[in-house]
A and B are shown apart, each in its own frame.
Chain A
Amino acid sequence: MDEALVKIRDLRVSFGRGDAKTRILKGIDIDLANGEILGIIGESGSGKTMTGLSLLRLLPQTAHVEAVKMFFAGEELQQKSGGEFDALRGVQLAMVFQDPVGSFNPCKTIGWHFAQVLRRVGETGELRDKSVQLLRDVGVKRAEETMFLYPHQLSGGMLQRALIALVLALRPKLIVADEPTTNLDKIVEKQVLDLFLSLQRRLGASVIFVTHDMPVAASFCHRIAVMNAGEIVEVGETAQIFGRPRHPYTRRLIDTALKLAGANGRPKENQSHRARQAARFAEEPLYRVRDLTISFPHSNRHGSFRALDGVSFDVMPGEILGILGESGSGKTTLGRSLLRLYEPAGGRIEYRGRDITHERERSLRSIRREMQMVFQDPGGSFSPRRTMGQALREALAMARHPRAELRRRAVSLLERVGLTAEHGDRYAHELSGGQLQRVAIARAIALEPRVIVADEAVSKLDVSVRAEILTLLGDVQREIGMAIIFITHDLDVARYICDRIAVMYHGKLLEIGHTEEIFTRPAAGYTQSLLGTHQNLAKLIGAVA
């Protein structure tokens, strides 16, 4: 039987009507064979998530969906009534969402969720044993205990495994997976993807795999559809898409990803750069951190949780120091404690020879200006009630620029980061993530800092924007000469921009060294396994092409 499982013709989705009508999908065709994995790649706003949601009728009520054809397993989905569709969805059609936490009812145990699903597919008898077996299948080690736990007691990786186990228990014909591993750490991501793949093979299910991660798509999917602005610009075998992309948009997408993943990173390893770097180490360090320990009170028990445990290192003026680690490794805590947003429980932080370990907030205020931060969430970095211009002028005023010049300087800052004066009149919600991050950089440099902590500053941005922002950050750094502490979990990004890299794991600093040293000769076992998961896009393309 070679018939397509899914056949969609001319799928159109829009919101609103009349003048305010926004067209989200502009005529999408999708064919999916039995047992096939179709990757949908594209940037945020391209409509890739909407495609999956409209297939499962999960769009908000305000959406207007129409299609010439929407066949699933030989049946027209559009003719199904609500009740008929409900019988199909969650049994033959399943979905794995990006956020595993939101997929579980926080008031119920994991076991309860399994019981629900198993009953749904008509299983009877010892549901508990079956659930435990399912959990074991997805590599949950203490499966019996896990049954009694609540969702918040499991890590993101564990929850996503449990969710996959639930979906597999349904034995669906089609799984729509929307960025199922984007929220997970790299090492966990690889495990979960491998698991997903092996179970998919066993069940023979078809998968629509929505992702923005090129290496994942390249290694995981049989065929790939590239989406841009509500249209599929190109569909083809994975090898063809990555090896010989036909559409200019696809080519641009892959080129940007390759640029970041480029083996040599940015052109920094030249003579003058080396010389500068060597000279830097002769200087007095900007920060001298010794045995730094930070602890937070435990939420439910007495005692405390050590977010940082005896961390020692120096930060040189004008260097870009990467802090690499998974979520929960303490890298964000480290960045924030350098700015003394947290009070250390032990150890010492010296900033330009001055001990600021227990400095009071009031006296810190005079040096705060020299330490700036660029945040991960571009939307939250600005007060929703002020315009970009107001935010910049405020920063400039704090840096004691004369009042009369604020407006002019704010405009020149906007222009410096590649925006125009017109952006100064806009509010945060009227700008894109990339534009906001540009303004955030402008605000940081307005204060003429000595150090900027960039906390996952590009993680929430689209791939094509990511490279631009990194380049901007690098340029600004060279021009002004401040140090940047670049916190990231992304190996490509770290390699692209950082001079030195510190690897964090469970609150400890495992190793610190020059970027190429860390990447070519990692000393710590953890670093080696982290690098082992790293899928070099260039190599992958070579392999599939």
Chain B
Amino acid sequence: MSSPFRQKLRRFFSHRTAAVGLSITLFVIIAVILGPMILPHDPEMVDFMAVLVPPGFAHPLGTDSFGRDVLSRVLAGGRVSFGISFAAITLAAAAGAMMGIAAGYFRGWCENVLMRIADLLFAFPSFILALLLMVLFGFSTVNIIFAIALVYLPIFARISRNATMLIREEPFIQAARLMGRSPGAIMLTDILPNIATPLLVQASAGLAFAIILEAGLSFIGLGVQPPTPSLGGIMADGREYFSRAPWVLTMSGLAISFALLGINLLGDGLRDLTDPRLRERM
């Protein structure tokens, strides 16, 4: 006897992309959560006796120009970056899906208003928009989350709207209407689960891009403010003395790439696995 949950788990791990993606992502998450607690060095502790030490036994990824341990900083910075991106994408996906489903289900003026808002947000290049929002709201971690969420909101809104329009004439939606269910209930229980797949895939891609966006903002000094470490901030520091100590920039950059690889693989795997119609073919 195996429970449905175990079956799902087994199916998940028999899918190589998903399994590898999940392993990397889990490793990254555990590392950024537990890392700063275990590692002996405080990421913000300055040690002028050990400035720009190359990678070695005491400092696996070396130290930066203030003598701070790069590994500790990357993990602590990763925690901040990851947290911000995750919160921002969750926010964007939730709000965007709400907008998009409502627009696709009700059509008419509701669609016009909501989608024109989305178009307006879309009209700006994402980085410029995030910059603008940061300048308008002021620099704080919460505001970075909102800024990134606003950048990704229209993508989720559009995907949800298109997916909703594709299925709104399906008999099962009509059947739900005929049962006398309220539009809210239909959107939540009949539409949302059936359009979740593209949203999930987009969310995983978005998560990766949000990390890049956050790093970019911090890199030019408009994101997380020092001395709080963030991946972008570490890279910005590392760039200044790249010729003398290339490990700071390279190692933090590699850390980002590794995390993004995991998230993207996971997203691809999830897309294959969450569609019941695709399951049997594997």
Taking beta carbons and an 8 Å cutoff, which residues of A are in contact with B?
339, 341, 365-369, 371-373, 375-377, 380-386, 394-395, 398, 427, 429, 440, 443, 447
Q: What sequence of 0s and 1s flags, for each residue 71-84 of chain B, a beta carbon within 8 Å of any chain A beta carbon? A: 00000000000000
A394 & B179 in contact (Cβ 8 Å cutoff): yes
Instruction: Name A376's closest neighbour in chain B (CB-CB).
Output: B171
Taking beta carbons and an 8 Å cutoff, which residues of B are in contact with A?
170-172, 174-175, 177-182, 189-190, 193-194, 276-277, 280
| B contact residues around A395 at 8 Å (CB) | 179
B281 to chain A, nearest CB (A): 10
Q: CA A372 – CA B175 in complex, angstroms? A: 7
B277 & A341 in contact (Cβ 8 Å cutoff): no
A443 & B277 in contact (Cβ 8 Å cutoff): no
Out of B174, B189, B194, B280, which one reaches A384, CB within 8 Å? B194
Instruction: Name B192's closest neighbour in chain A (CB-CB).
Output: A385
| A contact residues around B171 at 8 Å (CB) | 373, 375-377, 380-381
**CB-CB under 8 A for A371 and B194, given A377-B171, A380-B172, A383-B172:** no
Q: CA A114 – CA B193 in complex, angstroms? A: 46
Q: CA A373 – CA B182 in complex, angstroms? A: 17
The 6 sampled A-B contact pairs (Cβ below 8 Å) are A366-B180, A367-B180, A369-B179, A376-B171, A384-B277, A429-B276
A383 & B179 in contact (Cβ 8 Å cutoff): no
Q: CA A367 – CA B180 in complex, angstroms? A: 7
Q: CA A372 – CA B193 in complex, angstroms? A: 23
Instruction: Name A440's closest neighbour in chain B (CB-CB).
Output: B175
**CB-CB under 8 A for A385 and B194, given A341-B174, A373-B175, A377-B171:** yes
A368 & B172 in contact (Cβ 8 Å cutoff): no
Instruction: Name B277's closest neighbour in chain A (CB-CB).
Output: A429
**CB-CB under 8 A for A383 and B180, given A373-B175, A375-B175, A377-B171:** no
B59 to chain A, nearest CB (A): 50
B178 & A339 in contact (Cβ 8 Å cutoff): yes
B100 to chain A, nearest CB (A): 18
Q: CA A6 – CA B175 in complex, angstroms? A: 49
Q: CA A369 – CA B171 in complex, angstroms? A: 16
A371 & B172 in contact (Cβ 8 Å cutoff): no
| A contact residues around B180 at 8 Å (CB) | 365-369, 398
B190 & A383 in contact (Cβ 8 Å cutoff): yes
A368 & B277 in contact (Cβ 8 Å cutoff): no
Q: CA A377 – CA B179 in complex, angstroms? A: 18
| A contact residues around B172 at 8 Å (CB) | 380-383
Q: CA A369 – CA B175 in complex, angstroms? A: 10
A356 to chain B, nearest CB (A): 14
**CB-CB under 8 A for A372 and B178, given A381-B171, A383-B172, A383-B190:** yes
A385 & B276 in contact (Cβ 8 Å cutoff): yes
B193 & A383 in contact (Cβ 8 Å cutoff): yes
Given A341-B174, A372-B178, 11 more contacts at CB 8 Å?
A341-B177, A341-B178, A368-B178, A369-B179, A373-B174, A377-B171, A380-B170, A381-B171, A382-B172, A383-B172, A385-B276
